[in-house]
Structure 1
Amino acid sequence: MKKNIGFLIDMDGVIYRGGELIAGAREFIQMLLREDYPFLFLTNNSQRNCRDVVAKLKRMGIEVEEKHIFTCAIATARYLASQKPGGTAYVIGEGGLLTALHQNGYSIVDDDPDFVVIGEGRTIMLESVDKAINMVLKGAKLIATNLDPYCPSSNDSIRSGCGAFVSMIELATGKKAFSAGKPSPVMMRLAKAELSTRSFNTIMIGDTMETDILGGVQMGFKTVLTLTGSTKMDDLEHYAYGPDHIIRSIHDLLDGESFDKIANGEMALALG
């Protein structure tokens, strides 16, 4: 029988770091599957489609289905389809974003689009950015899959994120992008609907205060911050909001007592 609580789980910094699986992640997901808890992996990476993400997780030893993946590309495409069904978009991004737009009835064009949509990309050319700038100046609406300024990479380094590219277009045009990715209520609400849960029994597990935790707080979800990613304990004093629970890593949730406290909304679980 499906449980009446569900989990939204960030990936990089929670399940893995770079190319390395975080201890306890495989066992935690196996427990959710075994106990029939509904869950989604919630990612602000628009590069890969769901099948690609499933394949990456499988190589790491975590076997899930495409239904368990929800990306900012999917949220963006569904949002656009609700705003203008059958619309057109000029896209700076990769396969995950293109697939999501096509699946939601959008055509990708090179001239006179309804929307300019910006996602992650490792080979973004200045020529494409210039083209996007001129389209926005001519009236196309600017959309970002997310506003993350950087993305974690291997060896504790970072690379430019979607927000960095979007900021160039915003500065050149004087237009602000609308983002459907975390912490936007658009993505959080769509993901919750996939779980068929209520706000009070939806649990957001993430490592980033500005996206995972903020998005969860704004939606009334229970929030769990793990310290294996971008946020450290000393960082919390800089925020006017905070998580309901703090854990060292996803491994802590394998402890039955800790898991039950979070699932049942009991006293906050924090580090001593």
Structure 2
Amino acid sequence: MNQKGFLIDMDGVIYRGSETIPGAVEFINNLRKQGFPFLFLTNNSQRTNRDVSYKLRKLGFHVEDDDVFTCGMATARYLASRTPQATAYVIGEGGLLAELHAAGFSIVDDHPDYVIIGEGRTIMLESVDKAINMIMNGAKLIATNLDPNCPVGNGKYRAGCGAFVAMVECATGKQAFSVGKPSPVMMRMARKKLGLSTDQAVMIGDTMGTDILGAGSMGFTTVLTLSGVTKAEDLNHFSYQPDFVISSVKDLLNPELFEKVLHNKKELVEEIPFP
């Protein structure tokens, strides 16, 4: 049998804010019990995978540090493979800095090889101005992701990495290279980390523009859950579609539906009607 593995977004898929989504803990436990490899993917570079796995364990999930793959990890590893022992000026927080150090980067305040922008709650315009001048003098602009905003619960949002990147792009006339979802760089790294081939990978996410777009472009089976950002009424606005649409991961506790996802038998699933 062709073994499948799961790439799983987190916020909006297995939890919302500080609350687990009903059925999510049981679903993850079932994957582990049945021997299906899985990896949590996040476009948030603020925290290390150790920090994220600690949060998941507090929410009741039985996970290890290595079960989490962040865009900060993907960014650091990709750039280090292209420019070993490089230098970087970083606008971001501890998680991103830790991953860059682990990959052999030196963090500098002048003449860096790269300007790398990630999430940050304390980003100052002084840092942005400094980054702009570095880029104008030849540093390459890198974004951990291009998400324009991030949900913080209770229907509220904060500015995401993409919002700050857009400001720097506008000021410099340079386009950032992004490694996070939907970039094929992060998707391919995650697939290889689980030892999967393309037809073995299943992506579960709540956002059409990152999770579903990225995984679909790679040829993975895509499962959109409506428990997060994307709602059913939004689907008509996209020229691409997920293979499966579910209300939440709790639906995948149904053995019949789970088998259909494993074998990508989307023609057997009742689909949302489109005009």
TM-score range for the pair, normalised by the shorter chain length: over 0.9
1:161-172 equivalence runs, <5 A: 161-172=160-171
Aligned to 1:115: 114
Q: Distance in 1 between matches of 2:265 and 2:190?
A: 24
**Which deviations, in whole Å up to 9, do the C-alpha atoms of 1:2-50 show, x marking residues without a partner?**
9711000000010111111100110011001111111100110000101
In the alignment, is the contact (CA less than 8 A) between 1:246 and 1:270 conserved in 2? Answer: no
In the alignment, is the contact (CA less than 8 A) between 1:247 and 1:270 conserved in 2? Answer: no
Aligned to 2:25: 26
1:1-272 equivalence runs, <5 A: 4-268=3-267, 269-270=269-270
Q: Please provide the CA RMSD for this pair.
A: 1.2
Letter in 1 for 2:27: F
**Which deviations, in whole Å up to 9, do the C-alpha atoms of 1:156-183 show, x marking residues without a partner?**
1000000000011000000000000000
Q: Distance in 1 between matches of 2:57 and 2:196?
A: 27
Q: Distance in 2 between matches of 1:116 and 1:270?
A: 47
Instruction: Tell me the secondary structure at the aligned position of residue 213 of structure 1.
Output: helix
Letter in 2 for 1:136: I
**Which deviations, in whole Å up to 9, do the C-alpha atoms of 1:190-211 show, x marking residues without a partner?**
0000011111110000000000
Q: Distance in 2 between matches of 1:243 and 1:226?
A: 10
In the alignment, is the contact (CA less than 8 A) between 2:2 and 2:200 conserved in 1? Answer: no
Instruction: Tell me the secondary structure at the aligned position of residue 223 of structure 1.
Output: strand
Q: Distance in 1 between matches of 2:270 and 2:86?
A: 47
Residue 270 of structure 1: how far off its partner (Å): 4.2
Q: Distance in 2 between matches of 1:145 and 1:227?
A: 25
Q: Distance in 2 between matches of 1:270 and 1:21?
A: 27
Letter in 1 for 2:18: G
Instruction: Tell me the secondary structure at the aligned position of residue 151 of structure 1.
Output: strand
Residue 138 of structure 1: how far off its partner (Å): 0.5
Flag the 1:258–1:141 CA change in 2: closer, same or farther, 3 A: same
| Structure 2 residues not aligned, in runs of 5+ | none
Q: Distance in 1 between matches of 2:264 and 2:175?
A: 38
In the alignment, is the contact (CA less than 8 A) between 1:245 and 1:270 conserved in 2? Answer: no
Flag the 1:270–1:215 CA change in 2: closer, same or farther, 3 A: farther
Instruction: Tell me the secondary structure at the aligned position of residue 154 of structure 2.
Output: helix
Letter in 1 for 2:152: S
Letter in 2 for 1:201: Q
Q: Distance in 2 between matches of 1:259 and 1:99?
A: 37
Q: Number of residue pairs matched?
A: 271
In the alignment, is the contact (CA less than 8 A) between 1:3 and 1:37 conserved in 2? Answer: no
Question: What is the TM-score of this pair, normalised by structure 1?
Answer: 0.97
